[in-house]
Amino acid sequence: MGFLTSTTHLHITTWVIAIILFFIAAVASKPNKGVHMGLRLMYILIIISGGALFMNYRDGFGMIYDIKVLFGILVIGFMEMILVRKTKGKSTTMFWVLFAIVFFVTLYLGLFNGIPMNFS
Ligand code: HEM
């Protein structure tokens, strides 16, 4: 499964597409099932690509890797919460705040943690 773990490009591609679809769905005036379905497909691909990186590289890097995965999953969770609550007409403010925080923490943990696959 080298194509999943030889670089992080696939993982990055999947979450960038997911963020774009998420914002399209989030700003749309009415719910768009197709975009939301596409986003859910990207969740699966993010988890597969991130999970493969995790299995391959976690040894020896301690908890930072586990925390990166946890926050990555939280980002997905909050995107889904925001869209579902928006569809139901419920308030999303609190979830936007949580989304923003966990997203930036995830980016930080992914990019600046000194683990081997880092771009930086
Ligand atoms: C939308 C959510 C996510 C975002 C924004 C995100 C972001 C990132 C970023 C920026 C990197 C660094 C790539 C690099 O340095 O080349 C990364 C790496 C990684 N991600 Fe994610 N990720 C997300 C979800 C996930 C999930 C759900 C998992 C696990 C199932 C996961 C597991 C990993 C692993 C194991 C790495 C490798 C860390 C490294 O060696 O730098 N990510 N991710």
Q: Which two tokens stand for residue 79?
A: 């995107």
* Distance separating alpha carbons of residues 21 and 93, to the nearest angstrom: 19
pTM score, whole prediction: 0.91
Is 107's C-beta closer than 6 angstroms to any atom of ligand 1?
yes
Counting atoms of ligand 1 from 1, which one is nearest the CA of 116? 40
Q: Decide if 14 contacts 76 (C-beta within 8 A).
A: no
* Distance separating alpha carbons of residues 83 and 61, to the nearest angstrom: 34
Q: What is the percentage of the chain residues whose pLDDT exceeds 90? A: 68
Residues 6+ apart with CB under 8 A from 86: 26, 31, 92
Looking at every residue in the chain, the average pLDDT score rounds to 90
* Tens digits of residue pLDDT in 19-70: 999 999 999 988 899 999 999 999 999 999 999 999 888 777 778 889 999 9
Residues 6+ apart with CB under 8 A from 48: 4
Predicted pLDDT of residue 119: 55
Is 18's C-beta closer than 6 angstroms to any atom of ligand 1?
yes
Is 106's C-beta closer than 6 angstroms to any atom of ligand 1?
yes
Q: For residue 53, what is the enclosing H or E element?
A: helix 33-57
Cα–Cα distance list, 64 to 19, 27, 46, 105 (Å): 23, 33, 18, 12
Classify residue 120 by its DSSP letter. Answer: -
Please say if the pLDDT value at position 114 is more than 90. no
Cα–Cα distance list, 88 to 81, 84, 105, 112 (Å): 11, 6, 28, 37
Mean of the pLDDT values across residues 93-99?
Answer: 98
What residue spans define the domains of the chain? 2-111
